[in-house]
Each structure stands twice: as C-alpha cells, then as structure tokens.
C-alpha cells in the first residue's frame, strides 16, 4: 500500500510537470509543499495502519486466550456436573442404606431393651423369692439386695462358720438349704460365691496362711455344700476369694470388721440372648 501511494504521488507530480512547460517559483513551491504534505500524511497513515495491525494482532491473541479459558472452564464445568450427578446418585443410595441401617439398629435396640426389661423383672422376682425363703435368717446377718442387675445374698460369717473356721455349722447349712431350693427352681441363674474377710491377720489356723486363703476356702466350702449336698448344678457355680480388699465397713471397729467378714452369693441371669443380640 505504501508503494502504491508513493507511485501515485510521483505520477501526480509528473503529470503536473508535463502539462506545464514552465512553472513559476510560486507554483513550484506550492507543488513541493503538496509533496511534503502528501509524504507527511502518508507516514502518519502508515503509522496508524501499523498501530491498527498491532491492535488487531493483540485482539486476536486475546481472543485466542479467552477461547482457551472458555474451553477450560467448559471442561471443568462438565467434570463438576458429572461429579455432582454421580454424588447425587450415590447420596440417594447411601441415604437409603443409612435409613435401612438405622431401622435395623432401632429394631435391635428395642430387642435389647426388651431383654433387659425381662432381666430386671426376673431379678426382682428372684429377690422377692429369696427374701421370702430366707426371711428367718435376716436377724442373723443375712441380706438380699440388687446391684447392677444382679441379686446379692450376703451372709455374715457368724451365720455360716465358727470363728476362724472353714467348716459350715448347722445354722449355716439351714440357710444354704433354703437358698438352694430357690436356686434349683431358677436354672437360668448363674451363681458366684465370693469370700470376704476383714484386715486382721490370720494366726494359728493350720493350712490357712492368710486372709486370701481364708476367703477362698470359705467360698469353696459353700460351693461344695451347695453342689454336693443340695445338688445345685456345679456348672452354674463359681468360687472366688476377695480377701480383705472389698470391705463394706471400716476395719477400725468391731462392727465394721464384722460386716466385712461375709460370704456374698451373687446371682445373675444368663445373658446369652442379650449377647447374641449385640454381637
């Protein structure tokens, strides 16, 4: 375009000179001024054209970058939309699963609550039967209580044994016989016999070396009497000795020590049904 404009200017000058043989100085200067104006206008136009071309290149580059960003955003949108659809489907499935699981848990909880209710009901009934059967021994230091869903029959040592002995006396045998009648009517009850002592040292008791020995041997004496004489099933029985370490009273006085010397028969219902429910 630059060459075309220049050729046009030369042609114009040539035509001017060819049409006039002689030019006056004034016209000549005017022609030179026109030529200079044409060159100036041409240069300015050329600069504008170059600037416009640069602007066009910049706009094309910006358009390309915008198109790339648009494609990237579209791709990311498609990914997000696909993930949303996937999560929506999965959420519906998960909500259904959670709802079913919650319903199953609620059902199991109700079943456990029912088993515990039956256990508590049976425990209270057992306590009442024992209290009736052993009513005649309450003045001799026998008590029946419920703790943590279990029935505790506590017999002070004076009710069962002579002082320092592991041999059950006649009064103790009568109490255990009454207890055995109730236990044999309740085959679903587990029986733990615990021996307890005060903190006084054992002296001159032959094979009994300390309070551990005394508590264990008294416990096994009760278990042996209940199983061998009263025919309570041995598979239901457990014998343990606690020594002096679970006192009911202070060992600083005679009354407290008397409370601590005892046999506790702990009766607990078999919880196989409950264990099966909470596996």
Other beta carbons within 10 Å of 205: 14
Confidence of residue 24 (pLDDT cuts 50, 70, 90): confident
Task: In whole angstroms, give the CA distance from residue 149 to residue 50.
Answer: 99
Span 78-117, pLDDT tens digits: 888 888 877 777 777 878 888 888 888 888 888 888 888 8
Confidence of residue 249 (pLDDT cuts 50, 70, 90): very high
CATH topology for 117-277 is 60s Ribosomal Protein L30; Chain: A; (3.30.1330)
Span 200-244, pLDDT tens digits: 998 877 888 899 999 999 999 999 999 999 999 999 999 999 999
**Is the pLDDT score of 7 beyond 60?**
no
> How would you write 176-239 as a 3-class SS string?
HHHHHHHHHCCCCEEEEEEEECCCCCCCCCCCCCCHHHHHHHHHHHHHHHHHHHCCCCHHHEEE
Comparing 93-97, 152-156, 180-184, which segment has the lowest mean pLDDT?
Answer: 93-97
Between β-strands 237-243 and 189-196, what pairing exists: parallel, antiparallel or unpaired?
A: parallel
Task: In whole angstroms, give the CA distance from residue 196 to residue 245.
Answer: 8
**Is the pLDDT score of 156 beyond 90?**
yes
Percent of the chain surpassing pLDDT 90: 41
Task: In whole angstroms, give the CA distance from residue 97 to residue 123.
Answer: 38
Higher pLDDT, 164 or 124: 124
């Amino acid at each position: 375009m630059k060459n075309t404009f220049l050729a046009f200017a030369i042609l114009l000058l040539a035509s001017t000179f060819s049409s006039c043989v002689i030019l006056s100085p004034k016209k000549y200067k005017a022609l030179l001024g026109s030529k200079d104006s044409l060159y100036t206008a041409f240069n300015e136009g050329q600069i504008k054209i170059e600037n416009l071309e640069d602007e066009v290149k910049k706009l094309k580059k910006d358009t390309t970058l915008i198109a790339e960003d648009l494609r990237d955003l579209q791709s990311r949108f498609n990914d997000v939309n696909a993930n949303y659809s996937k999560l929506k489907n999965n959420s519906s499935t998960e909500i259904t699963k959670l709802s079913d699981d919650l319903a199953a848990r609620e059902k199991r909880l109700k079943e456990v609550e029912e088993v515990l209710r039956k256990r508590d009901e049976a425990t209270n009934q057992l306590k009442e039967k024992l209290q009736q059967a052993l009513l005649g021994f309450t003045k001799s230091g026998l008590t029946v209580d419920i703790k943590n869903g279990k029935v505790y029959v506590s017999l002070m040592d004076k009710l069962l044994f002579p002082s320092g002995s592991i041999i059950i006396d006649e009064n103790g045998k009568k109490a255990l016989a009454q207890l055995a009648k109730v236990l044999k009517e309740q085959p679903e009850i587990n029986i733990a016999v615990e021996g307890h002592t005060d903190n006084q040292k054992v002296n001159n008791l032959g094979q009994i070396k300390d309070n551990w020995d005394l508590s264990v041997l008294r416990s096994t004496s009760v278990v042996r009497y209940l199983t061998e004489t009263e025919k309570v099933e041995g598979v239901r029985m457990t014998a343990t000795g606690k020594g002096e370490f679970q006192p009911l009273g202070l060992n600083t006085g005679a009354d407290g020590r008397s409370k601590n010397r005892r046999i506790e028969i702990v009766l607990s219902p078999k919880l196989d049904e409950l264990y099966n429910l909470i596996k």
